[in-house]
Structure 1
Amino acid sequence: MTDVAATHDAIVLGAGAAGMLCAATAGQRGRRVLLVDHADEAGKKILISGGGRCNFTNIDTAPDRYLSANPHFATSPLSRYTPADFIALVERHGIAWHEKTLGQLFCDGSARQIVAMLRDECTAGGVTFALGRPVGEVGHADGLFRVGGATAPALVIATGGPSIPKLGATGLAYDLARRFGLKVVEPRPALVPLTLAGDEALFRALSGVATEVEARAGKGRFREAALFTHRGLSGPAILQISSYWRHGEAIAINFLPDEAADWLVAAKRARPRATLRAALAQRLPDRLAETLAERVALAGELANLPDRALAEVGRRLGGWEFRPNGTEGFAKAEVTIGGIDTAALSSRTMEARRVPGLYAIGEAVDVTGWLGGYNFQWAWASGVAAGLAL
């Protein structure tokens, strides 16, 4: 390994998606780059993504699919490095891929192919890897950043957020940001299962039951599968709205997104002898139909139930409120919402406005995408933006 005490043009902290592509981009422009990570292997979070096949981008990427205190910040990086650009890179390395659903692209083979591609790109740029080395104290004096024995006029914070700590994730990015006077938007778990307690805990008995729903929270509205778990609610629809949910608020679930509010009135005409449970069981998993019918407590045949009562049940099923008591935390969160305040950064270069030579990219920044490859695209786009500026 090259002596890490040598002088470099840039030091990149974090050998994840954003850090590796940033280092490769700068290295291939002739910059001498040192890539430092306390983990002994690069791209650990990439390896577990997409069930091991890496949902590496989304062809429907657009700025409105991202959450940030400044919703316009992501526009510039995303417009300058698009999904098509990353697909071209993937294909240049001979990696086969497929579109699954909702614009999500996966490797046909393994996520290890993406990590190998990024390492090869770094090698092509002469990037020096320093893996398995704690970052330690970061110094800054006389226009140079110092990490261990290495010095450089540029430092890139690409250490991500605290989600999935078992992979070594920490809040280092925020500590460094504050050290250099940058504000941090409150970090919290995102794309994370929600927990239920109290009267709603009975839904845990449905653990393993999944159904397609429309979930709503705040400004978020997603139609995908929801999954009941032994702790509460999960599945793509729930993970999506978790980014929009705040503690103490309710979420609304439309269990029958294809049905009009008065569908039970029509069902009464078609099958007057049916019960509410039977009508629900035609459209939902049996155990869920039984639980919802019990909670509604509208017994008897549909023929004997007033249209007004049936319409009210239909409306309730179209906006069933749950009030989660929390989330499963950073341990189960796919990403972190919040992070280094974008007001302190240039959206063109990702450089800190008041600290020349300091950059922040990827999940460390207050830009969080939807589930489905959006966060990887932000990593690629922000990494390239910084790599081109180094």
Structure 2
Amino acid sequence: MIASQIANRQTFFGRGSLRELQPLLCNAPLPTLLFCGHSFLKSPAWQALEADLAPQFIGMEIVSHEASPNEIDAWVARWRGKVQRVVAIGGGSVLDAAKAFAALSQHPLNTLRYLEKVGDTAISGETLPLIAVPTTAGTGSEVTQNAVVTEKVETKVKASLRHANFVPPIAILDPDLLRGASDRVLACCAIDAFTHLFEAYLSAKGNIFTRHTALAGMRAFISAWPHLNREDEQGNIAREQMMIASWQGGLSLSMAGLGVIHGIAGELGAIKDYHHGEICGRLLLPFLHLLGESDNAEQQQLMDELSTALFPGFTLPPATMLASWLKDQAITPFWHDPQPLTEAEVEWILARSNSKNSRVNYTEQQQRFMLEQAFHVR
């Protein structure tokens, strides 16, 4: 099997690397649209650079949640033909929204016509150049081929626009942009990154190349997970490591795909506004229980190798060890106070969820177990 690695053409990494943005824009002047969130506009990073950066943009769109097809269509209608470059500064929702806009501004039909699961038209690789600047470490959207779009009202679908050309040509990974985020945001985004790495590591589509990438990302995660909210040098190093883990998670999922956790989370996210990282983290814990009981030889071999690499010297079963360590070392117990789901919502999710690229085809009963353990079903 051949692993296809698709990455940014330029990646700027390091504390304070957001300063690279202004010369990038000035050295190649183009009409540029900024996508960002309110939190970034209130941040010290924007306040420090606003005088230099703001004149480089012809306009700004604020993204406060996962973009809907109607929102993307409205942005395209407002800016088509006026923009030649896009900058996205924010979390995964901001980056995905900007990627979707950059592509669909170069396509004639509306968003739903191209969207996976519901569309009827293949999307081409036409897109505007995009500079991606993540302010969270979780989705890895700055290095993935897909732009996630969510429609919760009529179609009730969470799906992607996907093409190799949608990988942002330039990414700026500045760990200082994680400073000031709440413990819950840091933890939920980080566990999303870990889930990408972990599911890609176990993926039936994976090979030694993709597992090497995923394992490197999980090592970075392990070093960072307990220290993300510290204000000292150890905290700075942890945020650097988590930014790396998130980027490698995006790279890993692009090569090897994801598993049953995302096979459930994608459908749940189509009907509930819960944080995607929190959904994945909540589902990860009961999944590890199922994994510990699995008799799949390939899966168990991979878990043995993972345990040796991440927790040398420990004698607990690998899945049990991982679940215990994640909970013991978390900066906040994100799994407490489970969010509610109705029985009807569970049935709706299970009718659409799947095991994706898992080595095991998880039954509806097993997927129900994951949902019932992760959420308050009433």
TM range (shorter): under 0.3
- Give me the TM-score of the superposition, normalised by structure 2: 0.26
Q: Name the one with the larger helix percent.
A: 2
- Give me the TM-score of the superposition, normalised by structure 1: 0.25
Q: Name the one with the larger strand percent.
A: 1
